């Protein structure tokens, strides 16, 4: 048999190509430590090792930081970076050189992964690979909505950053685990969050105009 020939089934038809098995993010992160060479790795190495999941991990870290009191304004500005790259259909975030060259201690990375992996395994019971086509179809929409969610995080209203941060966290988990159903739910929640923020801003402006007319 010609070694370059396509394998065929018993009825003469070409056998379907094998679909690569999806590796859960918790397993991927654990294997990541085996690839680390030396005591330090760069941020660029980490992004390249994560591949397409790097968007999900970047968003997850930003969402968690945004929940810290006082940090949401900074995250709201920074989230524009991955959002614009998603609009441009990049497969992974491209970081500025001064960030990409920063080194991370493998020991600290190991401790972080040791803390994150058990929690990811718990999440992976519900979040799993489904409807992969949804990611290709909604990449730009996701970027636009994230950009708008980042703007709402800068809003002066108390606790206005909480819902956008949770929505971005859901988007991150969807990208980490290739779950198109969670992606669809998160996008719907993003639209709802933006609508609520829009109504609140409109109400604030109308109230300010009404008070101005009273005086």
Residue from 147, 138, 139, 148 nearest 89 by CA: 139
Range of the domain at 92: 25-199
pLDDT, one tens digit per residue, over 166-201 is: 888 888 888 888 888 888 998 999 898 888 877 777
Residue 53: Cβ-neighbour burial (10 angstroms; 0-12, 13-18, 19+):
buried
DSSP string, 53-119: GHHHHHHHHHHHHHTSTT-HHHHHHHTHHHHHHHHTT-SS----HHHHT-EEEHHHHHHHHHHHHHH
Q: Is residue 87 part of a domain?
A: yes
- pLDDT at residue number 126: 83
CA contacts within 13 A on the Cβ side of 146: 31
Give domain status of residue 45, yes or no: yes
| Residue in this structure with the two tokens 């401790």, named with its chain if needed | 111
Whether 9 is in a domain gets the answer no
Round to whole Å and give the CA distance between 125 and 193.
26
Task: Calculate Rg over the CA atoms of the chain.
Answer: 21
Residue 7 within a domain: no
Which residues have C-beta within 8 Å of that of residue 121, sequence separation ≥ 6? 24, 26
- 104 pLDDT higher than 70: yes
Nearest to 95 by CA among 147, 172, 173, 43: 43
pLDDT band at residue 156 under the 50/70/90 scheme: low
Is the pLDDT confidence value at 122 over 60? yes
Strands 103-105 and 40-42, by their bridges, are: antiparallel
User: Is residue 157's pLDDT more than 80?
Assistant: no
- Residue partners of 56: CB distance under 8 A and separation at least 6: 25, 172, 173, 174, 175, 176, 177
User: In angstroms, rounded to a whole number, what is the distance separating the alpha carbons of residues 104 and 116?
Assistant: 17
In a domain, 90, yes or no: yes
Report, as an integer, the average pLDDT of 106-118: 83
For the chain, how many structural domains are there in total? 1
Query: How much is the pTM?
Result: 0.70
Average pLDDT over residues 82-93: 82
* Structure-token pair, residue 25: 């993010």
Q: What is the pLDDT of residue 89?
A: 81
Q: Is residue 124 part of a domain?
A: yes
pLDDT higher than 80, residue 86: yes
Question: Is 45's pLDDT higher than 60?
Answer: yes
Q: Is residue 127 predicted with pLDDT exceeding 70? A: yes
In a domain, 6, yes or no: no
Is the pLDDT at 161 greater than 50? The verdict is yes
pLDDT of residue 60: 82
pLDDT tens, position by position, 2-41:
445 545 555 555 544 444 567 778 887 888 777 777 788 8
pLDDT of residue 61: 79
On the question of pLDDT at 1 being above 50, the answer is: no
47 found inside a domain: yes
């Amino acid at each position: 048999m010609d070694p370059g020939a396509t394998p065929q089934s018993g009825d003469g038809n070409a056998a379907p190509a094998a679909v690569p098995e999806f590796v859960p993010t918790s397993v991927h992160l654990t294997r990541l430590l085996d690839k680390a060479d030396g005591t330090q790795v760069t941020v660029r190495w980490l992004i390249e090792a994560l591949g397409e999941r790097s968007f999900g991990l970047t968003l997850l870290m930003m969402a968690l930081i945004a929940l810290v009191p006082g940090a949401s304004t900074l995250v709201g500005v920074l989230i524009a970076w991955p959002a614009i790259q998603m609009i441009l259909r990049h497969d992974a975030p491209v970081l500025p050189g001064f960030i990409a060259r920063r080194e991370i201690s493998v020991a600290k990375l190991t401790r972080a992964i040791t803390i994150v992996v058990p929690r990811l395994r718990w999440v992976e019971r519900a979040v799993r690979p489904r409807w992969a086509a949804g990611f290709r179809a909604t990449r730009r929409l996701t970027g636009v909505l994230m950009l708008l969610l980042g703007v709402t995080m800068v809003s002066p209203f108390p606790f206005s950053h909480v819902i956008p941060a949770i929505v971005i966290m859901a988007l991150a988990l969807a990208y980490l685990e290739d779950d198109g159903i969670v992606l669809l739910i998160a996008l719907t929640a993003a639209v709802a969050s933006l609508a609520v923020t829009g109504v609140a801003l409109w109400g604030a402006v109308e109230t300010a105009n009404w008070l101005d007319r009273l005086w």
